Structure 1
Amino acid sequence: MQKEQRPAVANWFTAQDGAVRLQGTRCKHCGTPYFPRNTLACRNPYCAGPKDGSELDEYQFSTRGRIWSYADARYKPPAPYVSPDPFVPYVVAAVELEVEQMVILGQVVPGFSVDDLAVGMPVELALGTLYADDDAEHTVWMWRPVDD
C-alpha cells in the first residue's frame, strides 16, 4: 500500500497533478516576489506602494532555472531537520529562477552527484521524498537537471 504524501513544509510548495510550484507572495505595486511568502509588507526600498502588507498577493514561482552553485551534503544535519535513518548523502543546489531571477536552495533529485552538475546547467522543479514515517511520505521540492 502506498503511503499518503504530505508536504514536509506546509504552504511552501504545491504538487497538484504532478506540477510542482513554489508558493510565495508578490507585491502588486512593484512586482517584487518573496519566497517563502511574506505577509507583512513589501521590503523593496524602491517600492512606492503601501507599507502595510495590503498589496501582497499569493504567487506561484516559475518552475525552471539555472544552477548558480551546488555542494555535497555528506553529514546528517542537526535537528530540527529530519532525514532518513540511516542518513543518505545528497546534493543541494542554489538555482536562479528564470523569471524571477532570484536564487532558491533545494536538494537535487537522487541519482545525481556533484560530478554530474555544472554552474549554468538548466534544472526544473520536481517532487521528492525528504523522509517517510509510519503515516506518510514527507515531500519537498527538488531540482532535476533537464536539457536546454
Structure 2
Amino acid sequence: MARTRRPVVPGWFTGGGDTDGGGPGAENFRLLGTRCGACGAVFFPRVDSFCRNPGCAGTELMEVPLSRRGTVWSYTDGRYRPPPPYVSDPEVPWQPYTLVAVELAAERMVVLGQAAPGVTVADLRVGMPVEVVPGVLGEDAETVWTTWWWRPVPQDDRRRA
C-alpha cells in the first residue's frame, strides 16, 4: 500500500519532488512566505490575515516563494529530543541533529531549519552558501511527513552562481 505524502505544516513549502535532499524536483522546491502589499515586508512562516510589521496596517498579503539559496547565519547541534511536531521514537537512542539559521538576503530575513542528513556542525561555516531541499521529518504506516532541509551548495554550483 502506498503511503500518503503530507507536509508537516501545510502551506509552508511547495511539494517539490524527491525528498532525498537533491533528487528530481529539488530545484523547484521552495519555502513559501507572505509579502505585504502595503509595505513590501516578507514573512516566514507565512501569514494570511495581517502584516506582521508593527508600523503597517496592511491586510493585502500575497504568497511568495522565498529564495532557494542563502548563507549560514548561525548553526548548532541539537542534543535533546525536541517536542512535537518532531517525530521521534522514545525507544530509540537519541541522535543529535544539526540546526541551521540561514540568511535570505533578498527577503532580508533569517529562516531556521534542520540540516540535511549527514550535514554536521563540522561541515558548516558562517557565511557559506546553502540551499533549501525537500526532506522527510518522519514516517508511519500511512504517511510520509515532508519538511525542508538546508544543505551546503556543492562546490561546482558555487563557481557557476
* Contact 2:4 2:143 (8 Å CA) reproduced: yes
* Contact 2:35 2:63 (8 Å CA) reproduced: yes
Q: Classify 1:8/1:83 alpha carbon distance in 2 versus 1 (closer, same or farther; 3 Å).
A: same
* Residue in structure 2 matched with residue 118 of structure 1 by the alignment: 125
Per the TM alignment, residue 46 of structure 1 is displaced from its structure 2 partner at its CA by 4.9
Q: For residue 115 of structure 1, give the secondary structure of its aligned residue in structure 2.
A: helix
Find the partner of 1:31 among 31, 36, 40: 40
* Residue in structure 1 matched with residue 9 of structure 2 by the alignment: 9
Q: Classify 1:126/1:92 alpha carbon distance in 2 versus 1 (closer, same or farther; 3 Å).
A: same
Q: Distance in 2 between matches of 1:9 and 1:140?
A: 8
Give TM-score scaled by structure 2 length. Answer: 0.80
Higher strand share: 1
Per the TM alignment, residue 115 of structure 1 is displaced from its structure 2 partner at its CA by 0.6
Of 28-37 and 113-122, the range deviating more from structure 2: 28-37
* Residue in structure 1 matched with residue 114 of structure 2 by the alignment: 107
Regions of 4+ moved over 4 Å = none
* Contact 1:26 1:33 (8 Å CA) reproduced: yes
Task: Structure 2 unaligned segments of length 5 or more: list them.
Answer: 18-24
Give TM-score scaled by structure 1 length. Answer: 0.86
Cα RMSD after superposing both structures? 1.8
The number of aligned residues is 143
Q: For residue 48 of structure 2, give the secondary structure of its aligned residue in structure 1.
A: coil
Per the TM alignment, residue 112 of structure 1 is displaced from its structure 2 partner at its CA by 1.1
* Contact 1:64 1:98 (8 Å CA) reproduced: no
Paired letter, 1:103: V
Paired letter, 2:62: D
Of 124-133 and 12-21, the range deviating more from structure 2: 12-21
Of 17-26 and 1-10, the range deviating more from structure 2: 1-10
* Residue in structure 1 matched with residue 140 of structure 2 by the alignment: 133
Per the TM alignment, residue 15 of structure 1 is displaced from its structure 2 partner at its CA by 2.5
